[in-house]
Structure 1
Amino acid sequence: MCIAGVFGGLDSGVTESTTSVFLESAYFNPTSVRKTARRHGLNTDSSFRFERGVDPNNTTYVLHLAALMVKELAGGTITGPEIDIYPSVIEPAEVTLDFDYATRLVGKHIPSDTMIAILKSLEMEIVNAGEKDVTVKVPTYRVDVTRPCDVVEDILRIYGYNNVEISSTVHSSLSYKSREDEENRLRDLISEQLCGEGFNEILNNSLTREAYYADLEQMSAGHCVRLLNPLSNDLNVMRQTLLFGGLESASHNINRRESDLLMYEFGNVYIFNPEAKGNPEAVLAPYRQHSRLGIWMSGLIRQPSWARPAAEVTFYDLKAVVANILRRLGISASEIKYTTSANEIYAAGLDISTRSGKQIGSLGILAKKILNKADIKQAVMYAELDWNTLVGLSVKKKVTFAALPKTQAVKRDLALLLDKNITMERVEATVRASEKRLLKDISLFDVYEGKNLPEGKKSYAITLTLQDDEKTLQDKQIEAVMSKVITNLTKQLGAELR
């Protein structure tokens, strides 16, 4: 006939031809009504009232009132007896209020006689009044008053908020910077840097659709934190990654002819591990929350002009942005390791970790199957960094300074012929391991593949910067370093000098 407390049925409704009416006045559990209304996606006048609570002991009075109104206004006749079914009687809530607690909460001493008088005027029955506290029975129609703080709020409402004076003195203590304060400072620092590079900050809903994870293995739908009462199928799970929210924002802009996008977002992700579900006492054990930084780049990074042509965003533009973030946080390039990523969201990508193996994040070119989920046709570069890990690494860093060296740096170039599978990271690691004291920097300034090179080979041209802070380098020292570097590159990577 109906969904109790939510929605009426057609067969039990009243029409113009109705001559007999059966009146029902009922009380329904607010929690059950709210869950039912959300489950069926119904928001009615009935659910609006019942889910907020009504007076369970007022049903008989309301039934009589409705019957009298039908009789008076519509000429009806009351023909049947009244039937009252009240299996579980709901008694008035009993609350004990400590007077000292009320004083601390209000911030002013209100005489106990005044508080008791106010409670009586609010139709609260005084069960026991002592010197330190008072116990009252709250009328059943006051469904919002169940705790001592609720009673204090009622007292203050009648007493008057304007009658609580603001003290002329403030009692406080010196605060200290916590981990959260440092995290907020670093977040503002990186936000300022990204905005200075032309990025826009976005903020997406933590709720997302399960369909995004349906065909993924590393972020499968089974690891999603599901909602018991989802508002819709598009918002039925918590996000495992910031990726899809950013793609929705990108798609929204691209569809409005704003295709050149630089976006970033700080946000939390939520992961459910079904294997950790076992101990009934550890209810939250399978659930994890992590803070992440997501970065999206797509379209043109440089607009065309008379001075220079347009330039599209590349993988290396994104890598440079990530490298600048790490550098700003005090994490040097020598501490970071890049490895080829096997993450299915990337067509080509890199995993980022510390030399000790701690994962920092990943970056790459998004795969087409991921872009298709948001109906995006153009290439999108994406990076997601573990913000908790970055903060942990950054707070350990201490800012130090030294006088500028009085000597000049020496630069030497090397052109290396290498196998195609040799990455620049391996080259850099080999060079840095060969000379740790004098080597200040290593950079790649040219890469060549193709004509005039053997099959399966490529050419790297690198610059090494050498410097001794105490004295000018001699030719013999430079030659010794270069000889050692070349020997290690040859033995470990099979490099040949061009």
Structure 2
Amino acid sequence: MKISYNWLRQFIKVSRSPKETGELLTDLGLEVEGIQEFQSVKGSLRGIIVGEVLTCERHPNADRLKVTTVNLGNGEPVQIVCGAPNVAAGQKVPVATVGTTLYDEKGSPWEIKKSKIRGESSHGMICAEDELGLGQSHEGIMVLDSDLTPGTPAADLFEIEDDHVFEIGLTPNRADAMSHWGVARDLKAGLQQQGENQELITPSVSSFHVDSRSKRIPVKIHNPEMAPRYCGVTITGVEIAESPKWLQNRLKAIGITPKNNVVDITNYVMHELGQPLHAFDADRITGNEINVKTLPAGTKFTSLDDVERELHEEDLMICDAEKPLAIAGVFGGIGSGVTSGTKSLFIESAYFNPVTVRKTAKRHGLNTDASFRYERGIDPNITEYALKRAVLLIQELAGGSVASDIDDYYPKKIEDFPVFLTFDKINTLIGQNLSKETIKSILASLEIRVNNVTETGMGLTIPAYRVDVKREADVIEEILRVYGYNNIEFGEKINASVANSGRFEDYKIQNLIAGQLVGQGFFETMANSLTSPAHLGLSENLKEEQAVKMLNPLSQELSVLRQSLLFSGLEAVSYNLNRKRSDLKFFEFGKTYHNYSGGRQENKHLSIFISGNRSREAWTAANKPGDFFYLKGVVTSVLERLGIRNLKTSPVKNDIFSEGVSLSFNKTRLVEFGVVKKKILKNFDIGQEVLYADFNWDLVVETSRNQQNKFTEISKFQSVRRDFALLLENEVKFEEIYDIAFRTEKDILKEVNLFDVYEGANLPQGKKSYAVSFILRDEKKTLTDKQIDKIMNKLQQNLEKQLGAELR
């Protein structure tokens, strides 16, 4: 949120510098994230003075240039070469003196220097409108009033404003500070606490009066719970024109582009007082009536941005007798706004239900200055005051007469809120005893009324606009931020407790595995738990009825909680591929969310993604793509690091993997992994293979807790390796070879590894070749050739018999 320093000083005559004021606002909880200088004219016309053209002669060496002598009011006239066709002797003109900085149309600076132009010296520059930033014209130089005195600074002639703009990181609870008036209230309280009493100056509306009752537009509220208060008034005989410079400068300073006097006034009052307003062209209101109501679902409405929107049955609309005119508290309609031909106005000032506005704004993906304020909760008691303030400004700047009484619909007043504050609670939470007088002074500066004081506490009344102060703790927080966090004394003793935690706490195991994966070249990602409902259609495993849907989603793309970590991971893969990072290894610890018939459930998962090469390109090693077996090695290493072995491998049949397997321990499935189907990758514009593993982390941690690690002495006897080159049917899997081998020899056989696969020329059709290694070792003695040959013969016979294998 942007707050103008000059605008702020209209409410409170603060004598501190912008920097000191920003520091005080930050101490008060309105964190100033930055202070920017604002100049209504770039450079503020520094170095530009009024000059008088004494002579004007044709340049001897250029037909289109003229040589002038100019009186700058400081002694000897100077010579300036000018190319403007309208320059003439006797004129008063703006002159940029030597050393002055001007700015081009892109805002880039350039300096006026002494120069020679076609052989004639030039000591300055006679300027046009656009060169000074005062307009768009470049047809000739600006000609000023003939009564002006040479040497007068040009900044004195135009409404030039230098300002400082605070960028405040407003927290959502501080709805009361969404205006210059609200910030000034806080500033007044902070200054008072530091012994500087300042009066809060509020704009007067005492001169408001009704000129006639010739054009009353009745208002009917059909949904009072959605619009607790609604004010409207009609003005006739207005003239739409450009706003005066002072108003344009106020809006430009906070980043708002001026449009016309009426629209600018509604924006000005909103940022001044925090009350959004809307101006309708009264002559375009059909049936001479305003209806505040909802419309049937599917009703079409074209908003001011020329977008046709389909309304929801809960969208509150401002309508005339036939059609919708605006989305209440959010956005106006294209057919009812103020145009250059508008002569009559209906001005709306209302308090709409914050929840209604927030839901409507999110449904339509709109975030306007009005909705920003309405959905956080504005002051319901300044609705009429702000309307009168706007009407008086419109009459001042656009003319017109008030043609109706103010129609104020406010059947049930929103009351101030009572809170009882105990002194013991204050001292306990703050950790320091504050005097009763200090507490009462701070509360009074915050417009919190003290009704009664007892030995134990105070009865308070909280203003309705402080929607965030409802509890005793909230009041104490208000006292503390005004008193100053920096003024709280800290003791020298620090007390801390150490929690007892076991080896198998989730965070410890997670950190252990995260460290291992990082050591293997993986990067950890953290994705949003909110995702798009469109992902539900990418897999039959994801059920729409099991989706946990957000009641107030930020957008349609973030409206459900994820049921799988796959799609958020693929978004990260796609993001990196689009930025030319093709070798990717990611992992994420995260939760999935499900809405089962028995209740909602959260499950923690570990996901792993591999795409592209295993490692970076290097001259010492050839690029090797990450493949299924590499992923299997990573997955197995995770489980083995946690002491989980003797896993059963099973094929996975689902619509996520083109080929995949699962690893189980004692019938508990711990992880599924494989190659993601191209059909799914296409939805994320991914053109290369992606490998994915999904660990059920809750089950992995539970299984790890139940494992007992066994430590054995390193064998004193050497291992022996023997290899088989086996010719097999294509459908035979390595897992079958692995199982047969260990059923054949349980004691001496230690490892079975597949180190080469060949399919192609010189092999019979339907056949493939597996190169398999067998590691043999006896823990008690050295193996003899006879023992080794006996085991290998037995292995060969069983493989031939059970798999039809042949030795090559």
TM range (shorter): 0.7 to 0.9
The AA in structure 2 aligned to 1:401 is F
Alignment match, 2:652: 341
**Aligned positions of 1:387-402 closer than 5 A:** 387-397=697-707, 401-402=711-712
Match of 1:300 in 2: 613
3-state SS of paired residue (1:270):
strand
**Displacement after TM superposition at 1:68 (Å):** 3.2
Aligned to 1:290: 603
Q: What is residue 372 of structure 1 aligned with on the other side?
A: 682
Q: Deviations over 1:101-131 (max 9, x none)?
A: 3233212233445434432343323344333
Distance 1:497 1:211 in 2: 51
Partner Cα separation in structure 2 for residue 67 and residue 251 of structure 1:
54
The letter of the residue matching 1:264 is F
Using a 3 Å threshold, how does the CA distance of structure 1 residues 165 and 19 change in structure 2: closer, same or farther? same
- Report deviation, 1:307: 6.3
Q: 1:106 aligns with which of 407, 422, 430?
A: 430
Look up the equivalent residue of 1:59 and give its one-letter code: T
Identity rate, percent: 44
User: Could you tell me whether the CA contact under 8 Å between 1:212 and 1:373 is conserved in 2?
Assistant: no
Structure 2 counterpart of 1:168? 492
The C-alpha deviation readout for 1:177-219, integer Å capped at 9, x for no partner, is: 268x833333333333333323333333333333333242122
- The SS at the match of 2:718 is coil
Task: List per-residue Cα deviations over 1:156-175 (Å, max 9, x = no partner).
Answer: 12222122111110122222
Equivalent residue for 1:386, pick from 696, 700, 708: 696
For the 8 Å contact 1:416–1:495, the answer to whether it is kept is: no
SS of the residue aligned with 1:365? strand
Q: Which moved more, 1:415-424 or 1:146-155?
A: 415-424
1:316-344, CA deviations, whole angstroms, 9 ceiling, x for partnerless residues? 11111212222223222x2x222111121
Q: Is the 1:182–1:395 Cα contact (8 Å) retained in structure 2?
A: no
Question: In the alignment, which residue of structure 2 is the partner of 1:279?
Answer: none
Q: Is the 8 A contact 1:303 1:311 kept in 2?
A: no
CA contact (8 A) 2:363 2:555 kept: no
- Could you tell me which of 76, 91, 107 is aligned with 2:415? 91
After the TM superposition, which residues 121-132 of structure 1 pair with which residues of structure 2 at under 5 Å, given as runs?
121-132=445-456
Query: 8 Å contact 1:128–1:134 — kept in the other structure?
Result: yes
Give the equivalent residue in structure 2 for 1:135: 459
Match of 2:569 in 1: 246
Shift of 1:303: 6.6
Contact 1:443 1:463 in 2 (8 A): yes
Aligned to 2:663: 352
Q: Does 1:217 align with 2:533?
A: no
Give how far 1:454 is off.
7.5
Question: Secondary structure at 1:84's aligned position in 2?
Answer: strand
Conserved? CA contact 1:439–1:467, under 8 Å: yes
Q: Which runs of 5+ in 1 are unaligned?
A: 277-284
Name structure 2 gaps, 5 residues minimum.
Answer: 1-324
Which amino acid is the alignment partner of residue 518 of structure 2? C
- Secondary structure of 1:300 counterpart: coil
Cα 1:375–1:24 shift into 2, 3 Å? closer
2:518 to 192, 195, 217: 195
Q: Report if the CA contact (8 A) 1:303-1:309 is conserved.
A: no
Q: Secondary structure at the match of 1:267?
A: strand
Structure 1 pair 129/362, CA: closer, same or farther in 2 (3 Å)?
A: same
Mean CA deviation greater in 224-233 or 479-488? 479-488
2: CA distance, partners of 1:116 / 1:484? 95
Residue 351 of structure 1 deviates from its aligned partner by: 1.9
Q: Tell me which moved more, 47-56 or 253-262.
A: 253-262
Amino acid at match of 1:98: T
Q: Deviations over 1:396-437 (max 9, x none)?
A: 445553433333345555666665544333443444455555
1: CA distance between counterparts of 2:664 and 2:670? 5
Q: Secondary structure at the match of 2:604?
A: strand
Query: Helix, strand or coil for the counterpart of 2:662?
Result: strand
CA shift, 1:12, in A, is 3.8
User: Using a 3 Å threshold, how does the CA distance of structure 1 residues 196 and 67 change in structure 2: closer, same or farther?
Assistant: same
Show CA shifts across 1:374-415 (max 9, x none): 222222222222222222233444555343333334555566
Say whether the 8 Å CA contact 2:750–2:776 is kept in structure 1: yes
Choose 297-306 or 22-31, whichever is displaced more. 297-306
TM-score (norm 2): 0.54
Tell me which amino acid in the other structure corresponds to 1:156. Answer: L
2:636 is equivalent to residue 323 of structure 1: yes
- CA gap of 1:178–1:109, structure 2 versus 1, over 3 A, is farther
Q: Which region of structure 1 is more displaced relative to structure 2, 231-240 or 377-386?
A: 231-240
The aligned counterpart of 1:428 is 738
Count of aligned residue pairs for this structure pair: 483
Q: Which amino acid aligns with 1:33?
A: V
Alpha-carbon contact 1:304-1:311 (below 8 Å) kept: no
The residue that corresponds to 1:282 in the other structure is none
**1:215-267 Cα distance to aligned partner (Å, 9 max, x none):** 42122444433333334443333332222233333333334443233333333
Q: Which amino acid aligns with 1:444?
A: L
| Structure 2 counterparts to residues 146-161 of structure 1, below 5 A | 146-161=470-485
Report deviation, 1:154.
0.9
How far apart, in 2, do the equivalents of 1:148 and 1:338 lie?
60
Q: Which amino acid aligns with 1:313?
A: G
Q: Tell me the amino acid that sits aligned with residue 642 of structure 2.
A: L
**What secondary structure, in the 3-state scheme, does the structure 1 residue paired with 2:539 have?**
coil
Seen in structure 2, the aligned counterparts of structure 1 residues 489 and 60 have a Cα distance that, compared at 3 Å, is same
Cα 1:363/1:137, change in 2 over 3 Å: same
Is contact 2:729-2:766 (8 Å) kept?
Answer: yes
Distance 1:130 1:435 in 2: 89
Matches within 5 A, 1:449-460: 460=770
Matched with 1:312 is 625
Are the aligned partners of 1:225 and 1:272 in contact in 2 as well (CA < 8 Å)? yes
Q: Deviation at 1:30?
A: 1.3
CA distance in 1, matches of 2:747, 2:427: 67
Using the alignment, how far apart are the partners of 1:311 and 1:162 within structure 2?
58
Amino acid of the structure 1 residue aligned with 2:383: T
Deviations 1:269-308 (A, max 9, x none): 33333x44xxxxxxxx1x3322222222223336777766
1:236 to 559, 573, 577: 559
**Match of 2:289?**
none
Q: Which residues in structure 2 correspond to 1:235-274 (within 5 Å)?
A: 235-273=558-596
> Aligned match of 2:469 in 123, 141, 145?
145
Q: 1:424–1:27: structure 2 CA closer, same or farther, 3 Å change rule?
A: same
The residue identity in structure 1 corresponding to 2:718 is Q
Q: Distance in 1 between matches of 2:416 and 2:460?
A: 9
Question: What is the alpha-carbon distance in structure 2 between the residues aligned to residue 96 and residue 178 of structure 1?
Answer: 45
Max Rg structure: 2
Provide the residue aligned with 2:133 in structure 1.
none
1:369 to partner: Cα distance = 0.6
Deviation at 1:373, TM superposition (A): 0.9
Q: Which has the higher helix share?
A: 1
Taking structure 1 as the reference length, what is the TM-score of the superposition? Answer: 0.84
8 A Cα contact 1:414 1:497, kept in partner: no
Between the aligned partners of 1:448 and 1:48, the Cα distance in structure 2 is: 65
- Aligned amino acid, residue 236 of structure 1: S
* Residues 348 and 364, structure 1, Cα contact 8 Å, conserved in 2: yes
Quote the residue 1:4 is aligned against.
328
Q: 1:173 to 1:399 in 2, by over 3 A?
A: farther
